[in-house]
């Protein structure tokens, strides 16, 4: 696993108000289904944990998503990164992410997920 991906996973965990760090792992809940997700202290995912870009990276180049992307400082903004289970991440990738920002339904789903992530966001200084 790349150093960049591990750093993004750690950023998602450290800025998640639900995440708890033990000597063995960062543990939290999937942003979608609330299943347990975890990564090691050095950022390796455990079990089915994956990293999700709440607002898909590809939407940042599409003006139709400006209402969502304008709230973030780019696709890798920690507020846009979340620990999620693989099942939910793959489902979102096959649904709203694939439909794109031209779909009102997709924008609604991604918007609700972004609101959920922002509600759970904890600035790094508070971790």
Q: What is the pLDDT of residues 67-80, one digit of tens each?
A: 999 999 999 999 99
3-state helix, strand, coil in the chain (%, to 5): 45, 20, 35
Q: Is the pLDDT of residue 63 over 90?
A: yes
Domain with 111, as residue range(s), is 3-126
User: 21: closest CA among 3, 9, 5, 33?
Assistant: 9
Residue 39, phi then psi, degrees to nearest 5: -135, 155
The pLDDT assigned to 126 comes to 55
Q: Which two tokens stand for residue 15?
A: 């800025």
Euclidean distance between CA atoms 116 and 127, whole angstroms: 18
Confidence label for 124 from pLDDT (cuts 50, 70 and 90): confident
Q: What is the pLDDT of residues 87-102, one digit of tens each?
A: 999 999 999 999 999 9
Q: What is the pLDDT of residues 97-123, one digit of tens each?
A: 999 999 999 999 999 999 999 999 999
Q: Residue 109 contacts by C-beta under 8 Å, 6 or more apart in sequence?
A: 92, 95, 96
Beta bridge partners of 29: 36
Q: Residue 29 contacts by C-beta under 8 Å, 6 or more apart in sequence?
A: 18, 35, 36, 37
What's the number of domains the chain is made of?
1
């Amino acid at each position: 696993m790349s150093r960049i991906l591990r750093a993004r996973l750690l950023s998602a965990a450290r800025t998640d108000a639900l995440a708890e760090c033990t000597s063995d792992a960062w543990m939290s809940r999937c942003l979608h289904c609330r299943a347990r997700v975890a990564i090691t202290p050095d950022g390796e995912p455990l079990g089915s944990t994956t990293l999700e870009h709440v607002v898909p990276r590809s939407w940042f180049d599409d003006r139709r998503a400006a209402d969502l992307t304008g709230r973030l400082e780019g696709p890798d903004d920690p507020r846009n990164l979340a620990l999620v289970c693989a099942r939910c991440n793959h489902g979102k990738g096959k649904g709203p992410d694939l439909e794109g920002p031209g779909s009102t339904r997709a924008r609604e789903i991604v918007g609700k997920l972004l609101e959920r992530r922002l509600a759970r966001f904890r600035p790094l200084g508070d971790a």
